[in-house]
Structure 1
Amino acid sequence: MWRFDDAHMPGDEPDMESYTNLDEMHETTDEVPLSDVAARVEAPVLDAVQHYLQEIGRVSLLTASEEIELAERMERGDAARERLNNASEELSAQLRRALAADIESGVEARRHLIQANLRLVVSIAKKYVGRGLSLLDLIQEGNIGLMRAVEKFDYHKGNRFSTYATWWIRQAVTRAIAEQGRTIRLPVHMSESVGQVKRVAEKLSQSLERQPTAEEIALALGQPVERIQRVLEAARRPVSLETPVGDEGEHTLGDFLPDEELPHPTEFAAQQMLRHDLATALDHLNERERRIIDLRYGLLDGQRRTLEEVGRVLGMTRERARQIEAEALRRLRQPDVGLHLRDYLE
């Protein structure tokens, strides 16, 4: 199965000292008026964002001291998780409970820091309306940048989190716009290849009762795997919702999509937080255990595999794959590992 990689965020850190006036970089987030973009945003989208602002507005903005307090709790939580994972001696039940409490406190602090700065994302995202992405798309990309900022923030340097996060949010938004700008129309011969591959993939899906891999499609067509992978890559290139439709171009592609298909920014942010927390939990597994969980549950490519298939991929018996999976799941059920996933299951 072809892999859908997450968007890669740049690793460069913002040079905070290069700003002569940090206050100029800090966005005002007490109120986020949308009147300045109302004429460029569809009414249903504008209503959705207004409702979203009402929801996130229930979380108060943070003072500098509150930002530090949350960052300290996150730091203690990370340290507690590290202690539990790498303890060379047997820890007492009392100490394990205390460390688990610090971990839970850190997870809640991280969530609070994100929620208190969601208005900052909207205030930045609306400045980029009209550059190829819808306002909701811009907010979603900005939320990714915000969560990246939470992970990278070092309160010891004395900067406000909102100041620091502004750089990461802008970076995520402008990068998404740049990626969208590279969207191109597929040439005729490539469109034909995409159609051929899709037809074969559908037939294989029926016989295999699962999505076929690129290798299986290549074998069925008698073509190199590399070529099939290029065709699949071309097939999933993004198409802007702002693409004109019709002879006069009076409508855009987004006009013909039902509003309920647009992911809500709150739901999108929660999904990204779950992805992060799940990755943190999987870090407790060794390489072989994580590989088996990835394959069994399709965490990397969306394709769930049977134990027989996992065994073939990793060169082991079905029974050995089952044993390793059972041990991995046992680890993930440990209170200190699965604690921060509890909220997603309630």
Structure 2
Amino acid sequence: MRDEALPEDGELVEQVVPELEPAAEPEFLNDVTQIYLNEIGANPLLTPEQELSYSRLARQGDQAARQKMIEHNLRLVVNIAKHYLNRGMPLLDLVEEGNLGLIHALDKFDPERGFRFSTYATWWIRQNIERAIMNQSRIIRLPVHVVKELNSVLRAMRRLEAASARETGVEEIAQLLDKSVEEVRQVLALNEHVASLDAPLDIDPSLSIGESLADDMAETPETQIQNSEVEHLVTEWIGMLSEKQRKVIEYRYGLNGHEMATLEELAERLSLTRERVRQIQIEALAQLRRILKRHGVSRDILL
């Protein structure tokens, strides 16, 4: 393979997007956005065999293989970044932060541990984007623990909406997270920067944000593989819990074909008190966090 020098982290977008002639800022930004999306769309998803080969070479210091791994996973970054469009940062800024997370993931990735890279990288991409939002998008800074709470609520909302194919109510989110409705409502109120996918782009009012992304972006091969692998890994890790812990987690989070149940419903089903079910859930999540830590992955996967 050709030995190419990898650009510095901050230069990744410039490496992927050819330099353009100077232009007025709105047109320039519009051109960069379109060119970038076109460029990354030309890179197909790597097969498992290609990914294993390139990641092994990259781990050994092969810069061309490293660049290949980065370029063929840029679509994954866009796919993740679009979920943060309502958080006060432009798409390209989110993508740039996600790209840095992608690079960091590649630095830490060990192909011999059995993970697909897209599955592993997702956790680092999310973390980098969320940290950037926390640091850059708010005039009034929120404490770190509050931002984490907001991220948890928004992930729960997406999970419920994906499962029911409808808009989720505050009561359902509160039930899933075992929080009060008022607590969830207060957390959601912090998310003041709301942008719909149907809202017009600032750089081109004739296009919506949704129209600027590929129609199949929500179900790309990257997403399908990632979701399949995450489901497999979570099932495997949940199997390490005690039988009672496993049942509580499966029913509380709607895993392995079970419908989500409230603490009251589970208490009746398991002939336990509501408080005892809640304690088992806390114990099970703590055990899962320990398992995830041993595998070097983020606990965010639990939502």
TM-score (norm: length of structure 2) = 0.36
Q: Which has the higher contact order (CA 8 A, sep 6+)?
A: 1
TM-score (norm: length of structure 1) = 0.32
Which has the greater radius of gyration?
1
